[in-house]
Amino acid sequence: MAINNPQQAYQQNKAVTSSPGELTLMLYNGCLKFVNAAKDAMKKEDIQTRHINLVKAQNIIRELMVTLKTDNELGKNMLALYDFILSRLTDANTENSLSKLGEAEELIVSFRDTWKEAIQIDRKQRHGG
C-alpha cells in the first residue's frame, strides 16, 4: 500500500526508525498536541472535538502506562503519576474543566521536558558531544 502523502510517509518512517527513547518523546509530544487541541475546543465550546482529542490523549497515557516497567520504586511512582494524569484528562472531559486539563498538561510537559533532557544527555555521552 503506497502512501501518497509525503508528510504521512515521513512520520511513518520516523516512527519506524526512532529509538525507544525517541518514540516515548513522540508520544509525549503527541499527547500535548491533543491536549492543546482539546483546550482550544473547550474555549470554542466544541464538545465533540474536545472529546475526540481528550480520548486520544488518554489513549497515549494508557500506552505509556502499559509499557512502563514497574519493578522498582521509580516505575511505581511514575505509574501513579500517569494514573493521576489519566484521571485529570477524564475529569476534564466529563466536567469540561480547563483547570483539570491544565493540571494534566503541567505534568505531561514536565515528563516530556525531563525525557527530552535525558535523551540529550544520553546522546552526548554516547557520541562524545
The domains located in the chain, with CATH, are 19-127 (1.20.120.340)
What's the grid cell of residue 69? 516497567
Q: What mean pLDDT do residues 98-124 have?
A: 95
Over residues 13-60, the pLDDT tens digits come to 555 567 888 999 999 999 999 999 999 999 999 999 999 999 999 999
109: three-class secondary structure by DSSP: helix
Q: What is the pLDDT of residue 129?
A: 57
Over residues 54-77, the pLDDT tens digits come to 999 999 999 999 999 999 999 999
pTM: 0.84
- Per-residue buried b or exposed e for 92-120, using 16+ beta carbons within 10 Å of the residue's own CB: bbeeeeeebbebbbeebeebbeebbeeee
Q: What is the pLDDT of residue 81?
A: 97
User: Residue 112's closest CA among 8, 47, 18, 33?
Assistant: 33
Q: What is the pLDDT of residue 3?
A: 58
Higher pLDDT, 35 or 5: 35
